[in-house]
């Protein structure tokens, strides 16, 4: 049973694109491998994303997405603080702490979490309901918490590598914003303010993390672990959309205790 390890992504052996005979990949080959993982596993490929940006979800389904995704947003600074708490180099910490500032803001009423709440506001939710987390799908909580535990328990290299989904976020954000503005009359530029900021923040963060990983993942084992960390993180994002799809789109099988359409909305917003 030694093959059983918590949080192990335990993926099938990847056909790594470089380094046959156990030789390490070059940094460029590693980057190409990471991009190939994104091209086959990033949640831009998920059916729920396609429904979301193409206007084929109803307002309740968009609400369910925003409500559940709030938990992911809210835990990002906790995830990043968990990484920060394990970094021994002040130079690294000075760079990484900016992520926490971005999400928590310089002051109350600022930052990424606050901008996400502008989206849930715009969708008619009571703020106290959203932040209470009462209506979350359990699968959302399990996936997001798995991410936080991953960065606390894995080597620093893998913790940093798990953030590399940001390499692919500009593409999904631009699809999401343009598609949602065009297709939903209950969505405005103001309610999507979160994504505007991320278009500059995410590439800056991804550039740093990618350079770090390319410099520090030297052995085949380290390079495989980095690739597994990115696969793990793709799974975290994918599982969240799977759960939304099952509960609110295809099945209508809402788990006991999760948000019911119509619940906890402040008013019938336009």
**Beta partners for 125?**
265
Q: Give the residue, chosen from 146, 156, 181, 265, that forms a contact with a second copy under the rule CB under 8 A.
A: 146
* Distance in Å, CB of 187 to a second copy, minimum: 25
The distance of closest approach from Cβ of residue 93 to a second copy in the complex, given in angstroms and rounded to an integer, is 22
Of positions 97, 126, 141, 197, contacts a second copy by CB under 8 A: 141
Q: Is 40 in the site for a second copy (CB under 8 A)?
A: yes
Q: Which is nearer to a second copy, 154 or 214 (CB)?
A: 154
> What are the tokens at 228?
């597994």
Task: Give the interface segment with a second copy, choosing from 60-68, 86-94, 171-179, 230-238 (CB under 8 A).
Answer: 230-238
Spatial separation of the C-alpha atoms in residues 74 and 165, rounded to whole Å = 17
Give CA–CA dist 213/232, Å, rounded.
16
**C-beta of 175: minimal distance to a second copy in Å?**
19
- 143 scored as a contact of a second copy (CB under 8 A): yes
- Least CB distance to a second copy at residue 182 (A): 26
CA atoms within 13 A on the CB side of 6: 8
Q: CA-to-CA distance for 104 and 100, rounded, in angstroms? A: 6
Using the structure block, give the residue that is written with the tokens 């336009």: 270
Distance in Å, CB of 211 to a second copy, minimum = 26
From candidates 174, 182, 189, 257, binder to a second copy by CB under 8 A: 257
Pairwise CA distance, residues 192 & 214, whole Å: 33
Contact letters (x/-) for a second copy, 1-20, by CB under 8 A? x-xx-xxx-xxx--------
Place of tokens 């994918």: 238
Contact between 118 and a second copy by CB under 8 A: the answer reads: no
Site membership for a second copy, residue 25 (CB under 8 A): no
155 binds a second copy (CB under 8 A): no
Question: Which positions lie near a second copy, rule CB under 8 A?
Answer: 1, 3-4, 6-8, 10-12, 40-41, 47, 71, 74-75, 78, 113, 131-134, 136, 138-139, 141-143, 145-146, 148-149, 231, 234-236, 238-239, 242-243, 245-247, 250-251, 253, 255-257
């Amino acid at each position: 049973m030694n093959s059983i390890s918590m949080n192990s992504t335990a993926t099938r052996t990847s056909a790594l694109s470089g380094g046959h005979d156990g030789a390490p990949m070059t940094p460029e080959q590693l980057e190409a491998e990471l991009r190939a993982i994104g091209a086959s596993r990033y949640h831009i490929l998920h059916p729920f994303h396609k429904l979301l940006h193409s206007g084929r979800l109803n307002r309740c389904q968009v609400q369910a997405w925003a409500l559940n995704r709030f938990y992911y947003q809210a835990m990002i600074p906790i995830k990043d603080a968990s990484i920060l708490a394990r970094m021994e180099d002040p130079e690294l910490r000075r760079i990484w702490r900016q992520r926490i500032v971005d999400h928590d803001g310089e002051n109350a009423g600022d930052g990424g979490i606050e901008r996400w709440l502008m989206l849930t506001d715009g969708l008619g939710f009571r703020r106290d309901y959203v932040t209470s987390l009462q209506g979350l799908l359990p699968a959302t909580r399990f996936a997001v918490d798995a991410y936080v535990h991953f960065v606390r328990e894995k080597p620093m290299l893998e913790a940093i590598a798990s953030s590399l989904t940001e390499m692919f976020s500009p593409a999904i954000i631009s699809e999401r914003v343009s598609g949602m503005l065009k297709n939903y009359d209950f969505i405005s530029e103001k309610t999507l303010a979160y994504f505007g900021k991320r278009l500059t923040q995410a590439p800056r963060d991804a550039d740093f993390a990618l350079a770090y990983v390319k410099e520090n993942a030297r052995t085949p084992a380290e390079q495989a672990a980095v690739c597994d960390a990115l696969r793990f993180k793709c799974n975290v994002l994918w599982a969240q959309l799977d759960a939304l799809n099952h509960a609110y789109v295809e099945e209508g099988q809402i788990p006991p205790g999760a948000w019911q359409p119509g619940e906890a909305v402040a008013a019938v917003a336009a």
